[in-house]
Amino acid sequence: MLNFGIVGLGRIGKVHISNVQRYCNNAKVIAASPVNPENKEFLNENGVELHFDHYHQMIKEPNLDAVIIASPTAFHFDHILLAAKAGKHIFCEKPVDLDYEKVKTISETVESAGIHFMLGFNRRFDPNIMQLKKAIKMGKVGTPRIIKITSRDPEPPPIDFIKNSGGLFLDMTIHDFDISRYLIEDEVIQVTANGRVFGDLEMEKYDDIDTAVITLIFKKGCMVQIDNSRYCSYGYDQRIEVFGEKGMVATQNILEDKIITADELGHHNSRAKFFFIERYTDSYRNELIDFVATLQNKKAPSVSAKDGLASLAIAIAAKRSLKENIPVNLS
């Protein structure tokens, strides 16, 4: 039995607890921090027995094999270093950190500590994207030449979150940067970004935007165009198209149901799912199942700290491209 501790008991932290307890064979969350009266009931209902006021207390628990870090990004660096020092395996929510040098330090630290570190880029584990990857690996489209990624959220996060998020590229688009690398197994050499605020102008005070179009050029020549919006009236719009010399393969949106109605105005589908936890239910579950399998089979993690470092470099380049209105080359 693998024993997990978790730090961070917000929405994602609770999703991770539920998924481990229900779907991960021979694994259990036994400890949590920081615990307060508001989350004690949830922990008790889900069989989390050890409650700690502080993370530094929990990480000393001798029966822990691994920790799930679902705390705010600003705490990731310290939480990861403490876990590595204690010899605990780590699953960490993205991004690792907003500072490139800190992420580089983390990558080196977890490697030298000899522990497994997996980063929570959950969209890699979305069933549709996994099938897309499989089709590319099977040569269905040949060599990818153009990839189009549409990634639009129903609404922006609260301003209090935006203040410390690093901006759209580091919080939202970083998923799309990771998926691009994952699908074609190549590295970006040039980034061009354009964007602006169409909605809440208060975002501009924190050097952020709500809408963007980004073009990535990869070493082997593939071109990727990503369009982002934080204001999508019809739900989570998450689509990908991959085009190559042999053909095209694409994913479509996940809708609230599969019902089609017809009337004098035509045929109508249901809207796309509107809440991110519902949209990515499968991927959040699958990534934890994969992490547990990584530990049980002692295999390399599916998403490493180096993957986080690469996507962060793209995001930083996108911010510079937007600010300076130039293409930015990556070495």
The tens digit of pLDDT for each residue in 270-281 reads 878 877 778 889
Query: What b-and-e string marks burial along 31-56, b requiring 16 or more CB atoms within 10 Å of the CB?
Result: bbbbbeeebeebbeebebebbbeebe
What pLDDT does 13 receive? 97
How sure is the predictor about 309, in pLDDT bands with cuts at 50, 70 and 90?
very high
How sure is the predictor about 100, in pLDDT bands with cuts at 50, 70 and 90?
very high
How sure is the predictor about 238, in pLDDT bands with cuts at 50, 70 and 90?
very high
Is it the case that residue 331 has pLDDT exceeding 80? no
Report helix, strand or coil for 34.
coil
Among residues 163, 122, 150, 134, the alpha carbon closest in space to that of 285 is found at 122
Task: Classify residue 250 by its DSSP letter.
Answer: E
Total Cβ atoms within 10 A of residue 278: 12
Give the amino acid at 153. Answer: D
Angular region, 235: left φ>0, alpha ψ -120 to 50, beta rest? left
Alpha helices in the chain (DSSP H): 11-23, 37-45, 55-58, 73-85, 100-113, 127-137, 159-162, 168, 174-184, 276-279, 281-297, 305-324
Residue pLDDT, tens place only, 54-87:
999 999 999 999 999 999 999 999 999 999 999 9
Among residues 100, 127, 206, 122, the alpha carbon closest in space to that of 161 is found at 206
SS3 annotation, 70-132: CCCHHHHHHHHHHHHHCCCEEEEECCCCCCHHHHHHHHHHHHHHCCCEEEECHHHHCHHHHHH
144-152, strands of its sheet edge to edge: 247-251, 237-244, 144-152, 223-229, 211-218, 188-196, 328-329
Choice between 271 and 237, residue whose per-residue pLDDT is larger: 237
Answering whether pTM is above 0.75, one says yes
**CB contact set of 12 (below 8 Å; sequence gap of 6+):** 70, 93, 277, 284
* Domains parsed from the chain with CATH numbers: 2-115 (3.40.50.720), 124-329 (3.30.360.10)
Of 41-45, 62-66, 264-268, 273-277, the least confident: 273-277
Average pLDDT over the chain reads: 95
Dihedral pair phi/psi, residue 226, rounded to 5°: -115, 130
Of 69-78, 136-145, 178-187, 265-274, the least confident: 265-274
Choice between 138 and 263, residue whose per-residue pLDDT is larger: 138
